[in-house]
């Protein structure tokens, strides 16, 4: 509406001007409800920075790393674990062995992981420290029981818990480690990172953006590169909360 009018019951005139693209304010305005019990609606200029876009780009990159890792899991895991091993990182394995028939702990079970070898204690437990990273075989033997060979994946900074149940008998039983399961999990968490990137770019919902950033930490793209980038994106989002549509101060209209 455009033109002049007269306010009823007032001897004053005022103009109503149509806002065009040329006359719109450069700042983005949000209206917020404040105060109890009498509420007041006040305007507030939304801060605008490039922080959300930077976080969005980082999360999209996390998605690309995660999907690439999921598709090329074998060579990437091999190269990543080798690089981490070269800088001195090792893994830890905690083992617990019981008799499957009666759930009693088995003592003096021979456990061999690569060049490392130990026996379980009276509680059927043993711990291996400074284990080389990557996929390796763990051999478990005890006279009168079926020998077990487990293919395991040793990761740095994380203790791998293994609960083994042995059956009386002879022969050998092999348990393979399937990378396909890891690839699917990595792919799912990578999709959350992509969703978070889209939401953050649009500055739509702060809570969902935070949740997607946290889930992106578990994408494990290029081993620990993806999680580190997701944490950086999360910190950037936390510092730009007021730029999102649903802020934490009052009710936004």
DSSP string, 93-116: EEEEEEETTT--B--S-EEEETTE
Q: Are residues 68 and 186 in the same domain?
A: yes
Q: What is the pLDDT of residue 112?
A: 94
User: Is the distance from CB of 61 to CB of 193 less than 8 angstroms?
Assistant: no
Note whether 105 and 224 are same-domain residues.
no
| Residues whose CB falls within 8 Å of the CB of residue 101, separated by 6 or more in sequence, listed in order | 167, 168
- The Cα 171–Cα 22 span in angstroms is 83
The domain that contains 150 carries what CATH number?
2.60.40.1120
Judgement on whether residues 185 and 68 belong to the same structural domain of the protein: yes
Task: Give a yes or no: residue 238 inside a domain.
Answer: yes
Single pTM value for the model: 0.58
Query: What is the Cβ-side half-sphere exposure of residue 53, based on CA atoms within 13 angstroms?
Result: 3
Assess if residue 36 is contained within a domain.
no
* Residue where a domain terminates, one of 132, 148, 179: 179
**Domain termination site, one of 144, 179, 214:** 179
* Per-residue pLDDT at 203: 85
Around 185, how many Cα atoms within 13 Å sit in the side-chain half-sphere? 8
pLDDT mean across residues, the chain: 81
User: Domain of 110?
Assistant: 89-179
Task: Extract the runs of DSSP E, i.e. beta strands, from 114-223.
Answer: 116-119, 125-131, 134-141, 147-154, 159-166, 172-175
Q: Is residue 149 part of a domain?
A: yes
What pLDDT shows up at residue 185?
83
Please say if the pLDDT value at position 115 is more than 60: yes
Residue ranges of the alpha helices (H) in 44-122? 51-71, 73-86
Q: What is the pLDDT of residue 156?
A: 79
Asked if residue 235 and residue 154 are part of one domain, the reply reads no
Q: Please give the Cα distance from 115 to 81 (Å, whole number).
A: 18
Contact 139, 97 (CB under 8 A): no
Number of domains in the chain: 2
Residues 173 and 188 in one domain: no
Q: Point out which residues pair with 140 in neighbouring strands.
A: 111, 148
Grade residue 220 by pLDDT with cuts at 50, 70 and 90: confident
State both tokens at 95.
Answer: 């083992």
């Amino acid at each position: 509406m455009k033109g002049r009018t007269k306010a009823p019951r007032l001897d004053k005139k005022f103009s109503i001007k149509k806002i065009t693209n040329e006359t719109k304010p450069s700042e983005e305005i949000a209206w917020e409800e404040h105060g109890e019990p009498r509420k007041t609606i006040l305007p507030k200029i939304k801060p605008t920075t490039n922080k959300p876009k930077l976080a969005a780009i980082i999360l999209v990159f996390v998605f690309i790393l995660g999907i690439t890792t999921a598709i090329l899991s074998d060579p990437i895991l091999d190269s990543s674990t080798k690089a981490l091993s070269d800088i001195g990182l090792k893994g830890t394995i905690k083992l617990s062995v019981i008799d499957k028939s009666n759930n009693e702990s088995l003592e003096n079970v021979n456990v061999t992981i690569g060049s490392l070898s130990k026996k379980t204690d009276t509680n059927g437990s043993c711990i291996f420290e400074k284990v080389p990273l990557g996929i390796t075989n763990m051999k478990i033997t005890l006279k009168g029981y079926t020998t077990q060979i487990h293919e395991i994946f040793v990761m740095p900074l994380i203790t791998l818990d293994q609960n083994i149940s042995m059956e009386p008998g002879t022969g050998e039983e092999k348990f393979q480690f399937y990378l396909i399961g890891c690839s699917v999990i990595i792919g799912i968490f990578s999709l959350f990172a992509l969703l978070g990137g889209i939401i953050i770019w649009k500055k739509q919902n702060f809570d969902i953006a935070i949740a997607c950033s946290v889930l992106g930490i578990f994408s494990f793209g290029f081993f620990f590169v993806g999680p580190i980038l997701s944490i950086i994106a999360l910190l950037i989002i936390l510092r730009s909360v007021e730029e999102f549509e649903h802020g934490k101060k009052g009710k936004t209209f």
